[in-house]
Amino acid sequence: MTVLVTGSRGKVGSTLITLLHEKGVDVRAASAAPEKLSLPAGVATVRCALDDAADFPAALASVTSVFLYAEPSQIGAFLEQAEAAGVEHIVLLSSSSVLDPDAADNPIAASHLAVERALAGSAVESTVLQPGAFASNAFQWRAQASLGAIDLPYPGSYGDPIHEQDIAEAALAVLTQPRLRGATYHLTGPESLTFTEQIAFLERAAGRPIPFNTVTPEAWKESMSVYIPGSFADGLLSYWASTDGSPTPLTRAVEELTGHPARTFAEWAAENADAFRA
């Protein structure tokens, strides 16, 4: 069994590589910049930019299973090459945003939805992981927190922050246990928390106050224009508006796949407290 892990520079991908390697699985780390990877000794690397079909033949050669990030631009070519190479199983890191009624019109959800649909039409068996909000999304607040206060357009918007370790462990389970293949798993953290509740956990972990300002959606979009394309900012604002005051439904999928309860946001905050102390 050889597993190709795409997006190996990401937290989920890099953690999954370590877990597979520790389990004795032959793992190949793929990245658009493999020279920048920091990996366990003995893990092979290969260049694979998911928007460049020229990389696919070498990356997929002799591969049995793939952990795939949801990049839609060349998904048809990727699946064609995967089938030609004899790949038996693809695990897709999708997003719970595809479950929203307007997913096809939301640029964030639409890219994941396009890849899910392509996999559904492929001859290669696939398993789909649909995590909610990554706990590490809180890192986007570091700069503002260090300078003064965090700007929030919807402080009461709920999320289901999930620890990236749990996503990686769920991926490990479906990659190495054939009985789990072929299904779709909606992964969530163990709690539905508002942004203000998440900030409170960060305050306790960092041992200092982290103030926030309530701003208009328009002001937030303008302040983020250098970092986030307008269409993506609109997609985020639309989602936050829809969950403002509405707790996020939770699942037990992490526990069912990994055998342990999902890690809490408080645990994530404690592990990453140093990022919010300065």
Model pLDDT for residues 73-98, shown as the tens digit of each residue: 999 999 999 999 999 999 999 999 99
When the pLDDT of each residue in the chain is averaged and rounded to a whole number, the result is 96
| Local confidence band at 195 (pLDDT 50, 70, 90 cut-offs) | very high
Report, as an integer, the average pLDDT of 155-169. 98
Which residue is listed with tokens 């199983």? 89
The partner residues of 264 in beta bridges, in order of sequence, read none
CATH for the 2-131 domain, from 3.40.50.720, 3.40.190.10, 3.40.720.10, 3.20.20.140: 3.40.50.720
DSSP state at residue 111: H
In CATH, the architecture of 133-162+189-249+263-278 is: 3-Layer(aba) Sandwich (3.40)
Tell me what pLDDT residue 102 has. 86
According to DSSP, residue 134 is labeled B
Instruction: Give the residue-averaged pLDDT of 167-189.
Output: 98
Q: Which range has the worst mean pLDDT, 28-37, 62-71, 225-234?
A: 225-234
Q: And the tokens for 25?
A: 């699985």
Residue span(s) of the chain under CATH 3.40.50.720 come to 2-131, 133-162+189-249+263-278
Report whether pLDDT(107) > 90. Answer: no
Q: What are residue 91's DSSP bridge partners? A: 67, 127
Is the pLDDT at 57 greater than 90? The verdict is yes
How far apart CA 113 and CA 119 sit, in angstroms, is 10
Residues whose CB is less than 8 angstroms from the CB of residue 21 and which lie 6 or more positions away in sequence, other chains included: 27, 40, 42, 43
Question: Does residue 278 surpass a pLDDT of 80?
Answer: no
The pLDDT, as a whole number, for residue 123 is 97
How many Cα atoms within 13 Å fall on the side-chain side of residue 4? 32
